[in-house]
Amino acid sequence: MRKFNKTLLAMTILLAASGANAAAFQLAEVSTSGLGRAYAGEAAIADNASVVATNPALMSLFKTNQFSVGGVYVDSKIHMSGPVTVNALGRTVAVGSADHNSVVPGSLIPNMYFVAPINDKFAIGGGMNVNFGLKSEYESDYNAGVFGGKTDLSAINLNLSGSYRVSQGLTAG
E-state strands within the chain: 25-26, 66-74, 79-80, 83-88, 91-97, 100-101, 107-117, 122-137, 150-167, 170-172
Residues in the chain: 173
Which of 144, 143, 64, 154 has the alpha carbon at shortest distance from 107?
154
Q: What is the mean pLDDT of each run of 10 residues along the chain (173 residues)?
A: 74 65 62 70 77 88 92 80 77 74 79 93 92 75 70 83 90 86
Please give the pLDDT value at position 50. 86
Please give the pLDDT value at position 96. 75
Residue 3's identity, in one-letter code, is K
Can you say whether residue 23 is alpha, beta or left, with left for phi > 0 and alpha for psi between -120 and 50 degrees?
left
Are residues 79 and 44 in contact, defined by beta-carbon separation less than 8 angstroms?
no
Are residues 139 and 76 in contact, defined by beta-carbon separation less than 8 angstroms?
no
pTM: 0.68
Q: Write down the domain spans for the chain.
A: 25-172
